[in-house]
Amino acid sequence: MSTVAHENNHHDEHHHEESFVSKYIFSQDHKMIGKQFLMTAVFMGVVAMMLSIFFRIQLAWPGEESTFLNTFLGDNWAPGGIMKENMYLGLVTIHGTIMVFFLLTGGLSGTFSNLLIPLQLGARDMASGFLNMLSYWFFFISTLLMFASLFVYDGGLFGIQLGDAAAPLAEHTAWDGSGPAMSGWTIYPPLSGLPNAEQGSGLGMTLWLFSMGIFIASSLLGSLNYIVTVINLRTKGMKMTRMPLTIWAFFVTAILGVLSFPVLFSAVLLLIMDRMAGTSFYLSDIIVQGEMLANHGGSPLLYQHLFWFLGHPEVYIVLLPALGLSSEIIATNSRKPIFGYKAMIGSILAIGFLSFIVWGHHMFVTGMNPFLGSVFVFTTLLIAIPSAVKVFNYLTTLWKGSLVLTPAMMFAIGLVSTFITGGVTGIILADSALDIAIHDTYFVVAHFHIVMGMSAVFGMFGGVYHWFPKMFGRMMNTRLGYVHFWITIIGAYGVFFPMHFVGLAGAPRRYYDYTVYQEFDQGTYDMIMDLNVIVTFFAIFAAIGQILFLFNFFYSIFRGPKAPQNPWRSNTLEWTTPVEHVHGNWPGDLPIVHRWPYDYSKPGAEEDFIPQTIPLAEGEEEH
Amino acid sequence: MEKLIILIVLVTGVIALAQLVRVYELSSKLKDRGEHDITDRDNHLNAKLMLAFMMFQFLGFIYLMLKYGWTGRGEAASLQGVETDWLLNLNFIIIIIVFFITNFLLFFFAYKYVRKPGVKATYYSHNNKLEAIWTVVPAIVLAVIIIFGLRSWNSITSGPTKKSVRIELFAKQFDWTARYSGENNKLGKYDYKLTNEGNNPLALMTTETIESARIETEKTIKGLEDELKLAQLDHLASGYRNLISSSVYKNQIEEEYNSVIEKEFNLIEVEETFKHTYADAKGLKGHVNVVIPEPNAETQKIMDRLEDKLIVKGRILRSVIQMQQNYDSKYDTYAWDDIIQTDTLYLSKGTEYEMSFRSKDVLHSAYFPHFRAQMNVVPGMPTRFKFTPSLTTKEMRKKKDDSKFNFVLMCNKICGTAHYKMKMIVVVLTPKEFRQWETSKQEKIFKNTYAAGETEEPANSETNI
């Protein structure tokens, strides 16, 4: 591996005049770019959360007129206050897409990798400020395209007519149609590959594909930067084994991204070609809307393999940063080293590696060869081991600690709880024989929402609360933080826990309503509806709680109390920079690192923390 | 007006919240600490809340378990379903134990180890032996899960046996059609190019259906070619008419046009006629070079669409001709005795069914929750799943204490707008009842329905048992 970085002392001496545009808009400073990612991700998160409230209302009270729905969705999508069936699918699709990619990938990696990698490594900035800036602006453009796709109507949007408004569904091309993509966030072809298979498969789907293509470019640019910076720009003394676990997590995440996103890109490209260039990668033997197609030889399973080859590492791209942030928050707020630092690194590496060989567990019932299925059962259950190791290490970190329950710490503890809960149901789903009966039911929905919608989101909240002083030089309000935490954990568990039972009862996902059950099993219908109502109430409760967070976040940016330099009494390097942002991070020389970042409550030390820059004392052993 | 009031309330709320926040900050300043420094009071309050939350989580879980049962869909009604339910219970016991123990430790530690004055945290950074233990123990537990799981999986996914009765489920937006294989237990071959919505909606393959598909396709191609020619003729005629100013010659073009459209015509010959008329109109002699403007966007689109359709149909025709040449008519009998059934799927208790699946258009999924069976239905790639029903509908109704209960086949892969309505009722009869039903359907075998030109089951027939 490369040795530590060359001194970069002279960088800060050329003071570029920063205009408003170069400071706030086309910034090449990693701290500003991190904040830009955060703002965009928060906006998209609010949008996706609103979409989920809309379809939760539909699920709890199907067929009932709702002025709320009519107000937000208009007469096009909720005439008379009743949601249109295909718009339900559109909302579900865009909700999933935004949450997985824009909030949890852009908002976790984009924000915190950018903010923390240079700061925690003692670097002036990322390896390439320019590519970093491009990475954000590509992200922003893809956000616009994805958000705009919600407003597609009759082949046009915002007054621009791209398709034929008068064409009937059977004659739709890739530029026609109304509504966003409606094939689920996984957009399996042929439903997504045939513009005339449903309304959303026309222009809405085209915009989705272009948006994701650009998003992938953004992600790759960012990941390349992160990898190069971690390898090349560590300051003197910052060996790989002295890096905080956050950096290890971001580093492995970036490697996962670089290796897996291009495969999604290829899946997207082939789908674009099937839709617009008459190819047959995914299409074969199809009669749609009465029209017999000549496509032959393609396979929908090809798409699924390509998609999930990214799709699985993607969930670890989402989760690892959250775990990394929590490791830091838990260690700092327990005033104890993270237990098993090397084992934690090993787990991150193991999870990273294994994440590439488990994708088939999303495909047990697709008709792929059962032997292949067995292989994926084996590898998927293997990946439970490093995950379990991490949980046990977190528990042991808390044990005999001296806990300070800041809002960030609460979210980190909440993350461990939800990681356990969501992780164990993953074990059920990994067992292919069991998956047969619960694949594509609410059991799956419960599982991935608990690990992503709770664990990863909690990691993000914890990260925001903990590093807010570093990002904005001010403190968030603690009281509001507590109330936000409790509303969120109670609300979110209330939303996703009952879903396990809905799923075990066999209720499929992506169903507009469950009225079919009344034709064959009234008892189960009643149970599903009871639970749906409970879930929706908790969802509304949790959503309202987020208003507190948004208020706290924005208010504190402008009026929060000024932050001290090291409010959490933490060891890592980012807390040695001045509170006011300096381009180049340290006004003078770069810091020199003498120890690992987890010397909290070290016996023989006066303070209960020893920053990494403090040299070893006489006779002191490095850990 | 209401919107204004709501707006005022919101704004007031935000301002109130802001003031509240200021109060907390000021009160912290008075106590000479940062608002972010956690007081012992806050620490202990939240620690207690952690414990309380744990109780909420545990009690909530137990309540949901007791109220909604281990599974809301009742007893498994297939042989392998019984086995997988046992496996599910085993797995659940394991994970529930893990869930309770780890969550307990988490929230208990969060409560117990909260900061106390004078008590320092213990600097305990690693213990490799511990790491080894909690790597190996989960590995062993997971090995057990894997072994039991794969055993079941192998048995469930094993291939058909001699006694397997073949049934096919055909999925399309937005319903299911079942096809029974008849006396010979062989399902007829199929190819989507042979689809005829009237008498062969399932595209079954016999010598006759192939021939009929070839004729149909040729007819369609002829029709498209005629339409295209007509469109091109229209374009030519109007183009030439526009170039001619004299009404006499305009009418001549009109006459020439009218004289050919009712019968077969050659476009090039007709264009020559138009050219002569144009030459006459302009008083020109000899070879004339005429350029008429390109068709407008509307017409061009229609002509392009026709050309695309012709290309597609041409490919299909070539493929059907090849099919005809390669087909062996001994397979006719496979299809002739097949029985096509919509609306309700009838099965026999104790019979091992080898189900095959195919789709007409997009991905669907055949989900039988009560039989714990599911298999995606893929256009262009047949899939299969094998199971044996072990309870009749009557028996299940007794168990569920619901006289209106029915088994069901639901679509479980997003397939479009009416995905949520795409189902088929499944009725499991005793072997004797099933044989009676089968006999009653003999007149509806494909050979007869194809000849008669219809295969549709009238709705609401025989769904009551």
Tell me the per-residue pLDDT of A418-458, one tens digit each, with 9 for 90 and over. Answer: 999 999 999 999 999 999 999 999 999 999 999 999 999 99
Strand-by-strand arrangement of the B383-387 sheet: B339-342, B175-180, B165-172, B353-359, B383-387
pLDDT in tens, A42-62: 999 999 999 999 999 999 999
CA-based nearest residue to B238, from B301, B306, B294, B303? B294
Q: Do A437 and B374 touch (CB under 8 A)?
A: yes
| Distance between first and last Cα of chain B | 59
Q: Which chain B residue has its CA at the smallest distance from A522's CA? A: B405
Nearest chain B Cα distance for residue A29, angstroms: 28
Q: Do B408 and A516 touch (CB under 8 A)?
A: yes
Q: Is residue B408 packed enough to be buried (19+ CB in 10 Å), middle (13-18) or exposed (0-12)? A: buried
Q: What percent of chain A has pLDDT over 70?
A: 97
CA-based nearest residue to A109, from A44, A49, A40, A38? A38
CA-based nearest residue to A459, from A38, A99, A108, A40? A108
DSSP state of B462: S
Q: Do B57 and A198 touch (CB under 8 A)?
A: no
Q: pLDDT at position A194, please? A: 96
Residues of chain A in contact with residue B70, where contact means CB-CB under 8 angstroms, are 504
Q: Do B374 and A506 touch (CB under 8 A)?
A: no
Q: Do A439 and B406 touch (CB under 8 A)?
A: no
Nearest chain B Cα distance for residue A28, angstroms: 31
Mean per-residue pLDDT, A574-584? 93
Q: pLDDT at position B463, please? A: 38
Q: pLDDT at position A5, please? A: 43
Q: Is residue A547 packed enough to be buried (19+ CB in 10 Å), middle (13-18) or exposed (0-12)? A: middle
DSSP state of B120: P
Q: Do A292 and B153 touch (CB under 8 A)?
A: no
How far apart are alpha carbons B363 and B369 in whole angstroms?
A: 18
pLDDT in tens, A361-407: 999 999 999 999 999 999 999 999 999 999 999 999 999 999 999 99
B220, B362, B370, B465: best mutation site toward chain A, by most A Cβ within 10 Å?
B362
Asked if A6 is an interface residue toward chain B (Cβ–Cβ < 8 A), one would say: no
Residues of chain B in contact with residue A490, where contact means CB-CB under 8 angstroms, are 53, 56
Q: Which chain A residue has its CA at the smallest distance from B158's CA? A: A370
pLDDT at A9 over 60: no
Residues of chain A in contact with residue B400, where contact means CB-CB under 8 angstroms, are 521, 523
Q: pLDDT at position B58, please? A: 95
Count contacts between A and B (CB, < 8 Å).
409
Neighbours of A3 (CB within 10 A): 9
Nearest to B68 among A334, A476, A501 (CB): A501
Q: Do B363 and A190 touch (CB under 8 A)?
A: yes
Nearest to B145 among A392, A427, A497 (CB): A427
Mean per-residue pLDDT, A127-143? 95
Q: Which chain A residue has its CA at the smallest distance from B11's CA? A: A551
Q: Do B149 and A377 touch (CB under 8 A)?
A: yes
Banded model confidence at residue A497, pLDDT cuts 50, 70, 90: very high
Q: Which chain A residue has its CA at the smallest distance from B382's CA? A: A367
Asked if A513 is an interface residue toward chain B (Cβ–Cβ < 8 A), one would say: yes
Averaged pLDDT score across all residues of chain A: 93
Residues of chain B in contact with residue A290, where contact means CB-CB under 8 angstroms, are 197
Handedness of CA A583, A586, A587, A592 (dihedral sign): negative
Q: What is the DSSP string of B266-286?
A: -HHHHHHHHHHHHHHHHT--S
Q: Do A519 and B406 touch (CB under 8 A)?
A: yes
Q: Which chain B residue has its CA at the smallest distance from A415's CA? A: B106
Q: Do B419 and A516 touch (CB under 8 A)?
A: no
Low-confidence ranges of chain B (pLDDT < 70): 70-72, 454-465
Residues of chain B in contact with residue A198, where contact means CB-CB under 8 angstroms, are 416-417
Nearest to B114 among A182, A405, A427 (CB): A405
Residues of chain A in contact with residue B191, where contact means CB-CB under 8 angstroms, are 285
Q: pLDDT higher for B451 or A116?
A: A116
Residues of chain A in contact with residue B150, where contact means CB-CB under 8 angstroms, are 374, 377-378, 432-433
Asked if A387 is an interface residue toward chain B (Cβ–Cβ < 8 A), one would say: no
Which residues lie closer than 8 Å to A67 by C-beta, 6 or more apart?
A81
Q: Do B34 and A475 touch (CB under 8 A)?
A: yes
Q: Do A427 and B142 touch (CB under 8 A)?
A: yes
Q: Do A427 and B95 touch (CB under 8 A)?
A: yes
Q: Do B414 and A510 touch (CB under 8 A)?
A: yes
pTM for the full model? 0.93
Handedness of CA A131, A137, A140, A142 (dihedral sign): negative
Q: Do B122 and A341 touch (CB under 8 A)?
A: no
Banded model confidence at residue A6, pLDDT cuts 50, 70, 90: very low
Nearest to B91 among A191, A431, A548 (CB): A431
A242, A415, A476, A478: best mutation site toward chain B, by most B Cβ within 10 Å?
A478
How far apart are alpha carbons A588 and A334 in whole angstroms?
A: 32
Residues of chain B in contact with residue A339, where contact means CB-CB under 8 angstroms, are 124-127
Nearest to B38 among A342, A404, A498 (CB): A404
The torsion defined by the Cα of B82, B83, B89 and B94, in degrees rounded to 10, comes to 180
CA-based nearest residue to B345, from B373, B309, B320? B373
Q: Do B192 and A395 touch (CB under 8 A)?
A: no
Residues of chain A in contact with residue B370, where contact means CB-CB under 8 angstroms, are 506
Q: What value of ipTM does the predicted structure carry?
A: 0.93
Q: Do B71 and A292 touch (CB under 8 A)?
A: no
Nearest chain B Cα distance for residue A418, angstroms: 9
Asked which of A53-57, A163-167, A249-253, A261-265 is least confident by mean pLDDT, the reply is A163-167
A192, A393, A436, A555: best mutation site toward chain B, by most B Cβ within 10 Å?
A436
Residues of chain A in contact with residue B69, where contact means CB-CB under 8 angstroms, are 501
* B307 half-sphere exposure, CB direction, 13 A CA radius: 8
Degrees to nearest 5, angle at CA B146 with B140 and B149: 145
Measured CA to CA in angstroms, residue A8 lies from A596, B48, B454 at distances of 22, 49, 83
* B187 half-sphere exposure, CB direction, 13 A CA radius: 24
A191, A307, A349: best mutation site toward chain B, by most B Cβ within 10 Å?
A191
How far apart are alpha carbons A185 and A182 in whole angstroms?
A: 8
Q: Do B124 and A339 touch (CB under 8 A)?
A: yes
Nearest to A608 among B81, B120, B374 (CB): B120
C-beta separation of A303 from A189 below 8 A:
yes
Nearest to A86 among B17, B150, B417 (CB): B417
Asked if A385 is an interface residue toward chain B (Cβ–Cβ < 8 A), one would say: yes
Q: pLDDT at position B282, please? A: 83
Nearest chain A Cα distance for residue B267, angstroms: 28
pLDDT in tens, A58-114: 999 998 998 889 888 988 899 999 999 999 999 999 999 999 999 999 999 999 999
